[in-house]
A and B are shown apart, each in its own frame.
Chain A
């Protein structure tokens, strides 16, 4: 299956590919799209162009986008209600952006609908990599932090704990990200349990691909 990934770094891309392959159950052929570093706003700006490119290029079946939430609100079930989406929530905004763009595409003969899978790493993808290693890292804990409580980690410490450095090289990041993703492919349920909204959205979308 040909799948396009949108990410901010090659390290994230390598890890997300492993997770996606484990969920979908087959090895994907990777098409890589990058935003410029620290570019979550750029991802929103670029996503319509990427969707158009994939639709009119008709060689890729699915698109996976995973974004860090940073300090933005965490997605929750209340956002799923009709007209209750929160556009400060990056997952809601991703879904809105995708929905608007998909509705604008001109249908093409022999072109099946592009499959989409969207995830939100709370607060950063390193939190996913710490799943199973640090019991304090999860969406509930981060939500408490957003509400002003003290929790045992922040985005900076997640980097240090994951890579052993606040300024890891790309090579170090990739090695650690791939190792973590390989470990987590054996326990996707844990990831879903700890990150029910951000990772839950991704796994739910990907399972729907299989059902389709």
Chain B
């Protein structure tokens, strides 16, 4: 599991450490580094084509001695490990090393890094028909959902049935996912109504239904990505359904609590929704506040804030955050 990511001179993150757990919900104002932090994976894997001047903190582009660095700290097999990437102007250094001597760099770390997926769903992408050739990977925007569902039905029919039952619980008007071939070489899914058994094509479904289905699908995959980020999972979702979205993310992160035997997925989510935040009042250790001030952006785990138990008494967590008590809100001009 990734314990933390430390950033130096990485865009808005001049000197910041993002603490992470099995499930982490990051909240903060726009431009506080939430999305930037998720770009760290591509940076460490050297998959980010941006130049030094595009990545370095604004104002430091001309400083030849400045370096941009990202350090992942992991806990694996009871040991701490550090994976780093440093970009010093044009020169790139990459290191994977155990913090203690004598350990082997475990494959699971490499799998986690390469397997990281960040999702920000887009209704049009989800609704677009896909090639009939098998592809079980869900795209970052939710594209290929039909392919993933089709593969799930064929390879794990019991999971597919569970997903159908859960879909009906979330959205009682629907009871089943079906498939059709809209054109040669293409496939798409349909969602059937409980009453009358009418089938709706994805293009005729609301954005919220499509996003909910994408969440559900990920939650029921037998082998989901090892580390996932959801950007604003509340987007397009009715506030009453947010508890189900939370549970879908928890199913990924804490599979044993849901009767699953697969490996846990490390889940990172970002939000601006007080409604979603309300659901985490009992778990301040899962909340990270992104602050933005004159020193740049930085992160703080809510449970580590002084006097936090007293500060959270009484009012809903979403209201407390919105008020500004916890930070992570836009500052007044």
Question: Which A residues form the contact surface with B (CB < 8 A)?
Answer: 6, 10, 13, 30-36, 39, 42, 45-46, 48-50, 52-53, 56
Enumerate chain B residues within 8 angstroms of A31, measured Cβ to Cβ: 324
In the bound complex, do residue B274 and residue A53 qualify as a contact, i.e. CB atoms below 8 Å apart?
no
State which of B7-15, B39-47, B306-314 sits at the interface with chain A.
B306-314
Complex contacts, B311 vs chain A, CB 8 Å: 49, 52-53, 56
- Interface positions of B (Cβ within 8 A of A): 274, 306-307, 310-316, 319-320, 322-325, 329, 331-332
CA distance A33 to B312 in the complex (A): 15
Contact of B322 among A10, A13, A34, A48 (CB under 8 A): A34
A65 to B135 alpha-carbon distance, docked (Å): 58
Bound form: Cα–Cα A30–B332 in Å: 9
Closest to B310 in A: A52
Partner of A10, one of B274, B310, B320, B332: B332
Name B's interface SS.
Answer: loop
**A32 in contact with B325 (CB, 8 Å):** no
Contact of A42 among B319, B325, B329 (CB under 8 A): B319
Decide if B313 touches A45 in the complex (CB within 8 Å).
Answer: no
Q: Which residues of A contact B322 (CB under 8 A)?
A: 34-36
Which one of B307, B324, B329, B331 has the highest number of Cβ atoms from chain A below 10 Å of its Cβ?
Answer: B324
- List chain B residues, Cβ under 8 A from A30: 332
Instruction: Give Cα A33–Cα B329 distance, bound, in whole angstroms.
Output: 10
Knowing A49-B325, A53-B325, say if A35 contacts B314 (CB, 8 Å): no
Please name all residues of chain A whose beta carbon is closer than 8 Å to the beta carbon of B320 when the two chains form the complex.
46, 49
A45, B314: Cβ atoms closer than 8 Å:
yes
Contact A33 B325 (CB under 8 A): yes
17 CB-based A-B contacts, threshold 8 Å:
A6-B323, A33-B323, A33-B325, A34-B322, A34-B329, A36-B322, A39-B319, A45-B316, A46-B319, A48-B313, A48-B315, A49-B320, A52-B310, A52-B313, A53-B311, A56-B310, A56-B311
A50 touching B323 by the CB < 8 A rule?
yes
* B328 shortest CB reach to chain A, Å: 13
Question: In the bound complex, what is the Cα–Cα distance between A39 and B316 (angstroms)?
Answer: 13
Question: How distant is the Cα of A13 from the Cα of B313 in the complex, in angstroms?
Answer: 25
Chain A residues near B315 (CB, 8 Å)?
Answer: 42, 45-46, 48-49
A50 proximity list for chain B (CB < 8 A): 323, 325
Query: Which A residue sits closest to B332, measured CB to CB?
Result: A32
The 6 lowest CB-CB distance pairs between A and B, nearest first, are A45-B315, A56-B307, A53-B325, A32-B332, A33-B323, A33-B324
- A59, chain B: closest CB distance, angstroms: 13
Inter-chain contact A35/B313, CB cutoff 8 Å: no
B332, A49: Cβ atoms closer than 8 Å: no
Kindly list chain A residues whose C-beta atoms are within 8 Å of the C-beta of B319.
35-36, 39, 42, 45-46
Which single residue of chain A is at the shortest CB-CB distance from B312?
A49
List of B residues within 8 angstroms of A53 by Cβ: 307, 311, 325
Query: Hey, which chain A residues are within 8 Å of B316, CB to CB?
Result: 45
A132 to B315, CA, bound (A): 39
B274 x A49 contact (CB < 8 A)? no
| Min CB gap A53→B, angstroms | 5
